[in-house]
Amino acid sequence: MRQSYTSVVYNETRTPITKYPDQLAGYLIHRFELKPGNRLLELGCGRGDFISAFKRAGLSCAGVDREPASIPGIEVRKCDLSKDPLPFEDESFDVVYHKSVIEHLYQPDHIMDETYRILKKGGKLIFLTPDWERQLKTFYEDITHCRPYNVTAVKDTLSMWEMQDILAEKFYQYPLFWRWPILKFLGLLFNPFISVKLARWYTRKTNKKFFQFSIETMVLGYGKKK
């Protein structure tokens, strides 16, 4: 019998539950000035790590995923993001968030059209996707990855849908870099010499997330609906 994507890629042995979702949610809330009570929709919420973190931080959360999900205290509806309309009314969310989702779709048209439709005027889109320039040798380890992105592609995507206050940047996943941005230069120093696979190996051997998260960058995209 076929196993679900979440049960294989995000089982707790392969991808343990950590404090990282709470750290990332807190950082994004602060950086993009999200407010308690803001209604947030996570696309591709999976087992619920991040949507639960946003809820703990005081946001009103709902999620969609193509696989059935049961996340305590959060409404999750089934939806195939490649073709199904999002099962919510127009202009019903203050924030749409997704992480490691858009690269699973051959084209961004449908997900962006639907995101724009359900966002309120002035609503915010925040998403993260693997940085193709750093992860080109590991990107297709995930058999469902379809479309790689870099900073330029993320910026152009947001611009095509006429988002405002657009931001597209390489994003270091190591929380210490968020507090002390100057430390990003350490990652830049290592980049020419350490591959993603070698950085993962160092992290496994030392149990120090610094190595993997300073090399395995993502691209952060942000924009506001007119």
User: If we measure between CA atoms, which residue out of 119, 62, 64 comes closest to residue 90?
Assistant: 119
Where do we find the tokens 């639960």? 52
User: If we measure between CA atoms, which residue out of 15, 17, 124 comes closest to residue 71?
Assistant: 17
- Specify the pLDDT at position 14: 63
Per the prediction, the chain carries an average pLDDT of 91
| CATH of residue 22 | 3.40.50.150
Q: Is residue 183 part of a domain?
A: no
Structure tokens at 139: 């990107």
Between CA 117 and CA 55 the distance in angstroms is: 23
Number of compact structural domains in the chain: 1
- Specify the pLDDT at position 13: 65
- Specify the pLDDT at position 80: 96
Q: Is residue 210 part of a domain?
A: no
Run means of pLDDT, 10 residues per run, the chain, 226 residues: 70 72 97 98 96 98 90 94 97 98 97 98 98 92 96 98 97 90 74 82 86 87 97
Coil, helix or strand for 12? Answer: coil
- Specify the pLDDT at position 56: 98
Between CA 148 and CA 135 the distance in angstroms is: 9
- Specify the pLDDT at position 213: 79
Between CA 85 and CA 220 the distance in angstroms is: 24
Which domain does 34 fall in, by range?
5-173+218-224
Q: Is residue 211 part of a domain?
A: no
CA-to-CA dists, residue 131 to 1, 75, 119, angstroms = 33, 30, 26
